[in-house]
Structure 1
């Protein structure tokens, strides 16, 4: 087991993202008229070669893994994740879920952006990986299974944003609340800001920091009921909010959402 301290740090730093999106089918379902078979196996681990390691900050790195052919797709439905297997500092096997930052429109490879903690068991495995090494992966996994047009609006995690915005047939509007502890903890900020600049009428992001730097003009503290009310769509029968985080965070978010009129049917907790 990871130490309570490292587990808490890892969970707190998870981005709390609430995306309000309108009707439309996610880009994943439009990439081809005949969806190619994915490389993942839900029952068995398969190994993929690490071809590029890019250090993004002192404890965050991007890992690019090659698929079998240049035209292969990973085969991970939107809203689902995959299990990655490695070894901790004691040589014991550890399995942890991750969601790639790439889509099935990114042919021939997939990428993981990983935040690594000193006592993290899977963090140790990623820290030790070198280009040419292989990562064992199994999937897809997850309780949430997206179906086209199942609701008019979703609250989703940030990883889905690109799939929505890059689909020319999807007129979805996306409003994201993205919470972290410090500025350095904001993962993929440049990519999110680019999306906001490229799709100004469809995407906006509101950053919230628990420990903001001097001169910070975004949200401060924890995600509040007022922030949700200001930056997310009002509750409606065809709106759903997807949320994640540690138990105290989820409990607080559920209370805020309930106070704003979001019923349990309008919420999904990962």
Structure 2
């Protein structure tokens, strides 16, 4: 009898330890109320005004703790030394343990852009989160349409990766990604890699305002016709996500409304 009791007690301790580990692991490193500092361990310049920043998490097995499609708030100082806080979406997922990455486009007059321009390996970035209204359960829709402009690609990339890399999720993803020039396309290599790896489930259509001479994508601004051709048709089991500059978001809302996408079929990051 004492052996049985000790076995039960031992099992209870093991179960408790497993539960504690699981709950600690799932919690992640973020704090929604307070900024936490993360060390920059790598900075890779991708173009004249775009860089990828890799930040270290406390341990090699730590996860950031960011639900799919949500973002973090980053705190820095502008050129005048004034504090500035801006939201960003990491391009990494919680399955990428030990680190997280931000792909940042730095604008000449951008207040937070100044902070990232000055950031060097070994410096720390203050981060708070998660934040955002987007909620997703695998398989809750048949397909996503995505319309992104410029740096609005980062939440789309994060959501697409999470869907496609989950073997239990069969959701299809159709992305329209608009930019001014070819050089402005962020994460093109990664997006093309997803399209090659998941040809039946992920499609990307690039649109450029100023395309190169040889170009097989869309030209100009994203039109109703482009949405009709490259996004899933309105239906109760589809959703269209949009993220871009405010004028683009406004225009896309008008197009989607006119094409019959109800408000509950649309989500704006």
TM-score above 0.5 = yes
Q: Secondary structure at the match of 1:36?
A: helix
Which position in structure 2 is the counterpart of 1:80?
A: 70
| Cα distance, 1:149 vs structure 2 | 4.2
- Report the CA distance shift for 1:170/1:243 in structure 2 as closer, same or farther (over 3 A): same
Q: Secondary structure at the match of 1:211?
A: coil
Which position in structure 1 is the counterpart of 2:105?
A: 115
Among candidates 120, 129, 148, match of residue 130 of structure 1: 120
Q: Aligned partners of 2:242 and 2:205: how far apart in 1? A: 16
Which position in structure 1 is the counterpart of 2:174?
A: 175
Higher relative contact order (CA 8 A, sep 6+): 1
Q: Aligned partners of 2:263 and 2:45: how far apart in 1? A: 40
Q: Aligned partners of 1:148 and 1:167: how far apart in 2? A: 8
User: Per-residue displacement from partner, 1:127-165 (whole Å, max 9, x unpaired)?
Assistant: 101100000000000122224444333334232111111
Equivalent residues of 2:207, 2:221 under 8 A apart: yes
- Report the CA distance shift for 1:262/1:65 in structure 2 as closer, same or farther (over 3 A): same
Larger Rg: 2
Whether 2:142 is the aligned partner of 1:152: answer yes
Which position in structure 1 is the counterpart of 2:14?
A: none
Structure in which a larger fraction of residues adopt helix:
2
Whether 2:158 is the aligned partner of 1:187: answer no
Which position in structure 1 is the counterpart of 2:60?
A: 70
Q: Aligned partners of 1:173 and 1:147: how far apart in 2? A: 14
Which position in structure 2 is the counterpart of 1:19?
A: none
More deviation, 199-208/33-42: 33-42
Q: So what's the TM-score if we normalise by structure 1?
A: 0.85
Q: Aligned partners of 1:250 and 1:117: how far apart in 2? A: 20
Whether 2:92 is the aligned partner of 1:102: answer yes
Which position in structure 1 is the counterpart of 2:208?
A: 209
Q: Aligned partners of 1:133 and 1:101: how far apart in 2? A: 20
Q: Aligned partners of 2:163 and 2:139: how far apart in 1? A: 13
Q: Aligned partners of 2:91 and 2:70: how far apart in 1? A: 12
Q: Aligned partners of 2:49 and 2:133: how far apart in 1? A: 30
Over the residues paired in the alignment, what is the CA RMSD in angstroms? 1.6
